[in-house]
Amino acid sequence: MSTSDCQLVVIGGGPGGYAAAFRAADLGLDVTLVESAPRLGGVCLLRGCIPSKALLHVARVLTEAREAAEWGIRFGSPTIDLGAVRDWKDRVIGRLADGVLELARRRGIRILHARATFVDSQTLRLEGADVGTLRFRNAILATGSIPAVPPPLAADDPRVIDSTGALELQDIPARLLVVGGGYIGLEMGTVYSALGSRVVVVEMTDGLLPGVDRDLVRPLAQRLKERFEAVHLNTRVVALRPDADGVLASLEGASAGEERFDRVLIAVGRRPNSLNLGLENTKVIVDGRGFVQVDRQLRTADANIFAIGDLAGEPMLAHKASHEGRTAAEVVAGHDTEFDKAAIPAVVFTDPEIAWCGLTETQARSQGREVQVARFPWGASGRAATLGRADGVTKLICDPQTQRVLGVGITGAGAGELIAEGVLAVEMAAVARDVAETVHPHPTLSETVGESAEAVLGSATHLFVRRA
């Protein structure tokens, strides 16, 4: 056992943790980064965002090859080398993880591979490849989250998997059950469907992607209806019984019955990784859902301990964690700053993609708030037509008196790339005229944002709106 001291310890090497460590080091702090896994990058890089997007790109290539028949180009049936696909995905992960490690080394950050638990508000016990006691002046908790599995669906069987297991891509099951119609389930369902699985989604609510505006979800729901074997809404999976022939799922609700599957993916959400950290030995407060309570500077009830990312509350998104990490590092360094974002974008990387930021129509209705909404259908977009993807929509949500942009929603190919303009508009308190009078290149999908803003003003070049 060894004992050492540091000015700042960051616990967790994911996108929030390493962003915090990097910013703190750039500000001149002595930083130690503690990560229990052999590599930096966290769930996002190693077991989440990056591998899933690599596989979604594979899925998109397969889908486009099939769709090309409509344009007069026909390919033969693809031959899928699953081992080569896994190797490519792993190479992407490895290259990015090596890059993060090199950036940490160049900044002089000390990296310890261990599990950290609090002995008290200024001391950590380390167990793992590095063992000892670490005394710190300040700590930033960035331990992330793990997949949530309802106890009735917990099964000690390799055919019942979570998102991590799905990304391992062990095989292409003939029939896959996805429990949960949220973004993780739909993204992984998209991958396996493109690879050849017959995918069935079960969602307990009356629509996919609960909480997302229905007009944004509608084009995706229609496409998945064509691609998936079935989507069962208002239905619950109440039991899973593995046997020699597969996994028997018992369904209750609108699509009650029993169905057999080769694999089952549990994708009902994630829960914060706040257990077994020794937080009871500090003044840190954890709420009933497992989130660590923080103020706008990401400070916990223990003045020298901060928490960021999934641990600190929803939305549980990597880019939110990164910005929170930088904020916490600046506060530790003595800067007068806080995490105060008007718009945190969300992207669902399905086909089509869905992206939104700021105020949604769903939120406006729940708040009884009057808003002006302008929609631009991608059927009127020249660029969407050239891509064969006229199934999208772009909309702006504005204040009806000032026409200030309060929110933006986009469904369509590349929506995740387009949403950044919307985020900037909301953050900068832009009005619709600011967006409308910004020159958008032609022909691009970005024009749909500009024409949505024109529609707010009463006229869009490629839409005719009959006036009363």
CB 384 within 8 A of CB 445: yes
Instruction: Please list, in sequence order, all residues whose beta carbon lies within 8 angstroms of the beta carbon of residue 38, skipping any fewer than 6 positions away.
Output: 113, 129
CB 345 within 8 A of CB 423: yes
In Å, what is the CA distance from 386 to each residue of 118, 146, 355, 389?
57, 41, 21, 8
Q: How far apart (Å, rounded) are the C-alpha atoms in residues 401 and 182? A: 35
Catalytic residue among 113, 232, 442, 462: 442
Strands (E), 204-345: 230-232, 235-243, 246-253, 257-261, 263-266, 270-272, 305-307
Instruction: Please list, in sequence order, all residues whose beta carbon lies within 8 angstroms of the beta carbon of residue 435, skipping any fewer than 6 positions away.
Output: 396, 405, 421, 425, 449, 450, 452, 453
Pairing of strands 114-120, 123-128: antiparallel
* Burial of 381 from C-beta contacts in 10 A (0-12 / 13-18 / 19+): buried
SS3 state of residue 341 = coil
- The number of residues making up the chain comes to 468
Q: Give yes or no: 442 in active site.
A: yes
CB 254 within 8 A of CB 204: no
* Phi, psi dihedrals of residue 282, rounded to the nearest 5°: -125, -175
Q: How far apart (Å, rounded) are the C-alpha atoms in residues 149 and 156? A: 12
CB 219 within 8 A of CB 351: no
Q: How far apart (Å, rounded) are the C-alpha atoms in residues 183 and 79? A: 28
- Which residues participate in catalysis according to the annotation? 442
